[in-house]
Chain A
Amino acid sequence: MKAVILAAGRGENLLPYTEKEQKEAIQVSGKAVVRYVVEGLWKAGIREFVVVVNDKGKQIEDALDGIDASMEFIRQVTPGISGAIRDGMERVDDYFVLAFGDIIAPDNFYSELIGRYNESGRPVLSTVPVYEGLDTYGLVKLNERLHIVKEGSTLALAGAYVLPKGEFSEFLDYLESIADRAAYFIWSGPWVDVGFPEDLLSAIENLLNRKDSFISNRATISSTAIIGKNVVIEEGAIVEDYAILKGPAYIGKNAYVGSFSLIRDYSSIEEGAVIGAYCEVAHSLIGRRAVIGSKSYITHSVIGTEARIGASAVTISYPAALKRKGERKFGALISPGGELSHGSLVGPAFRK
């Protein structure tokens, strides 16, 4: 069975960040978002992938590099989500897996999907419990048969399906048309739909909660550094004198943490990022090769790939008016290659 992966969205809720970097290619704790999807399906036995991309397709290709499976990248021509699905579906024969490339969930999510299909031989819809205020694509109502609705249920479509090839103009109408013979499952494990900047921070929490401590023996760590619980340090990383890594935290390949800096509580420092001396980083995603100047305070923020934050920059995270319910804090979203000058004071919910 082939899988169609959607990675061509405009990422509107992450603008201006997504002007430069495709949402599904954003790296979180060592892997691009879309890679979590493809690897999850790979572990469930899928070996052929059709990935629908847009003009930033090269980023997605790079993100999926090295996976031992057949990968076909096709450029979206028909507009909208439904269009992307139709474009992808042209490359499959009958039953296929459809997966949204912006979902972060454990591998079991996908093995449950495939398992349910193998057991029933019917189309399968994944659903996930959500509560009021969570912006979702569509809900599933369970009556005598399944129905796809806009309200009246707290079970949302979870972004991975096994479907027969078919014709449609609107994807949700298509789901509704096959719902009467579809099987479903309710996923209650970790699950993040990456839409808004704060979702990237939830994704880090999700991922780091599932990781055990791991310190590569090819990392260079000062004997005076303090490493707490649930810390992952990849090869080539350098942790300088008196730095404190208070987990859960992730330090990517070749990343650098300067002297006296504190990295704490669900922070993810991606490959090649540099944190200067005397910084504090909390609840933040520091993108690949980004640079944080000395004495900065970065909290509840997303700093893009190769962004440059000057010395003594301070982010303010509270109170932020956010779309996702339950979240009240967000500091800054800095686009890939973006800059903050020395001594900047930004936030809450600052975007550049």
Chain B
Amino acid sequence: MAHLIEHYRKLGMDNFTAFKRAILSIEGDHAILVVIKGDPRIFFSKRNNPLKIGVADGMTLISSDSWSMFMVTNKIIPINDEEFGYISARERYIEKFSGERVDTNSRLYTEDTESLVSSHEGYESFMHKEILESHLAVRETLRSMMRETEIVSKAIKSLSEARRIFVVGAGTSYHAGLMFALRLQKAGLTSIPVIASEHHYFRATEDDAVLVISQSGETMDSLIASKHYRANGARILSLTNTLGNSISHESDIALHTRAGPEVGVAATKTFTSQVAALLFLSSNLLGEDVEYLKEAEQTVTNSLQAMGYALEIGTQLCKKSNAYYLGRGLGVPMALEGALKIKEIAYIHAEAYPAGESKHGPIALVEKGFPVVFINLGEFVGELSNNIKEMSARGAETIVLSINNRLSDNKELKVWREVSVSVSDTRLAPLAMAPLIQAIAYYAAKCKGVNPDRPRNLAKTVTVQ
């Protein structure tokens, strides 16, 4: 960006013209501020990212939210998408990308102190906001995967040459990794999912590759695991959501999801982005056409459309103290993630099992009204239906989250409630499932009256062993 502006200045343009030219020649969403040495102005540009001007006596402020300017002023001039301009202490100038000048005075308004303080930048909660941003997070992640061909192909080459692929993660990242490992294993590759804190019992060699997954890139368990495997002589790859973190620093090849910052403690859009990135990597590794991922964003959006069902199911689960999440195949990692979410956010004790395992013990706890959530990604439907029947026969309240089909049409199964999301390719199923299980946990928490952004005893980034 800096070089681009410099380039246009060398062509003889003044600072603002050079800045505008630079903005118009780049692609993508942004909120950018630029200062140029010797110029008292701050230049800005915005597209699909928040940016606002604050006006005070003899002072102008600019920030992504009015909340941060609140100590100084509540007089705000909003900047719309596709607008740029500059501010100085007394001057505020806004222009549309099309060149039309904006009358800033007519935009000036006063934000109400009370409602601002009580809101999360105008949102109900960060977790809610972040679930609803999942489709954008997925879009940006896949765009960058497709754009950064050099590093991505290096990663794919490294993984395809490996004898075995270890996939390391903790919590939600482990579940994303498990899904990735299962996809590779089904195709005959040797891929070993490793819970980061349990890495000691999985020994790698120089022929192996290790993919470490962490949202923050600072997860202590994952960092230690990656050092352990580096000492084993394995090649280390990482997938993180922040730039310049310790784990990517420790790895030979650093890949990134582009979910944007996540404030809520529970991982939501970052999980969905990890799933998208890992689908992209695994498909490349397995020689599949990645054309189907073009529908990834729409798949997540379809899932957001089913929010009403999530509300109903979450409100029902809120009345319970226990639940099972069951699935088969790739439904297992999703069941694990669903159970984790409702535990950490809504404090409902939930356990996940491969559905077939449920009859080897867990079913003993099932009695009338016990909720069992089935993840139906469209594989092994016959077997899954039998599991539903077993649970219903014992009086369980069976909830089915389905992709592209409806099991409840079979009245014998006595399904309490089913949500079905349509996807254009069954490989996209985990992307449709992720926002749904998150929203169910979110609504269960809301119904219980607990704050989903700040679950007790948990921290966003776990930097202890």
Contacts and interface: CB of A to CB of B under 8 A. Distances in A.
A229 to B, nearest CB: 13
A186 interface: yes
A188 B80 contact: no
Given A111-B119, A119-B78, A121-B78, A154 B114 contact: no
B272 to A, nearest CB: 16
A121 B80 contact: yes
B124 A118 contact: no
Given A119-B50, A142-B305, A154-B305, A189 B76 contact: no
Contacts of A132: 308
B446 A188 contact: yes
A143 interface: yes
Contacts, number: 93
B51 to A, nearest CB: 8
A206 to B, nearest CB: 12
Contacts of B109: 45, 118
Given A108-B122, A129-B308, A142-B304, A45 B111 contact: yes
A120 interface: yes
Interface stretch (B278-286, B309-317, B345-353): B309-317
B238 to A, nearest CB: 33
Nearest to B49: A119
A143 B80 contact: no
B312 A108 contact: no
B115 A107 contact: yes
A120 B80 contact: yes
Nearest to A209: B449
A108 B124 contact: yes
Contact of A155 (B50, B52, B124, B305): B305
Given A188-B311, A188-B443, A188-B446, A141 B305 contact: yes
Nearest to B83: A121
A266 to B, nearest CB: 15
A130 B308 contact: yes
Given A118-B78, A121-B80, A129-B310, A44 B305 contact: no
A174 interface: no
Interface in B122-169: 122-124, 128, 132
Given A131-B311, A155-B305, A143 B124 contact: no
Interface residues on chain A, size class? 20 to 34
A112 interface: yes
B302 to A, nearest CB: 8
B465 interface: no
Contacts of A155: 304-305, 307-308
Interface string A105-131: 001100110011011111000000111
Nearest to A108: B119
Contacts of A131: 308-309, 311-312
B185 interface: no
Interface in B89-124: 109-112, 114-116, 118-119, 121-124
Nearest to A325: B312
A154 B306 contact: yes
Nearest to A154: B308
A110 to B, nearest CB: 8
B81 interface: yes
Given A119-B50, A129-B311, A153-B305, A108 B78 contact: no
B299 to A, nearest CB: 12
B301 interface: yes
A87 to B, nearest CB: 26
Given A115-B122, A129-B310, A44 B78 contact: no
A186 B127 CA distance: 13
B298 interface: yes
A189 B124 contact: yes
A350 interface: no
Interface string A138-174: 0001111000000011111000000000000000000
Contacts of A143: 298, 301
B106 to A, nearest CB: 10
A44 B115 contact: yes
A222 B3 CA distance: 77
A120 B301 CA distance: 20
A187 interface: yes
A43 interface: yes
B45 to A, nearest CB: 14
A283 B64 CA distance: 44
Interface in A18-63: 43-45
A7 B118 CA distance: 28
25 contacts: A107-B115, A108-B124, A111-B112, A111-B116, A111-B119, A118-B52, A118-B76, A119-B50, A121-B83, A122-B80, A129-B308, A130-B308, A143-B298, A144-B298, A153-B305, A154-B305, A154-B306, A155-B305, A185-B132, A186-B128, A186-B132, A187-B124, A188-B124, A188-B307, A189-B124
Given A108-B124, A154-B308, A154-B311, 12 more contacts: A43-B114, A45-B111, A111-B112, A118-B52, A119-B50, A120-B81, A121-B83, A130-B308, A142-B302, A143-B301, A155-B307, A188-B442
Interface of A: 43-45, 107-108, 111-112, 115-116, 118-122, 129-132, 134, 141-144, 152-156, 185-189, 209
Interface of B: 50, 52, 76, 78, 80-81, 83, 109-112, 114-116, 118-119, 121-124, 128, 132, 298, 301-302, 304-312, 442-443, 446, 449
Chain A to chain B: the 10 pairs with minimum beta-carbon distance, closest first: A154-B308, A121-B80, A118-B78, A115-B122, A129-B307, A129-B308, A131-B312, A131-B308, A111-B115, A129-B311
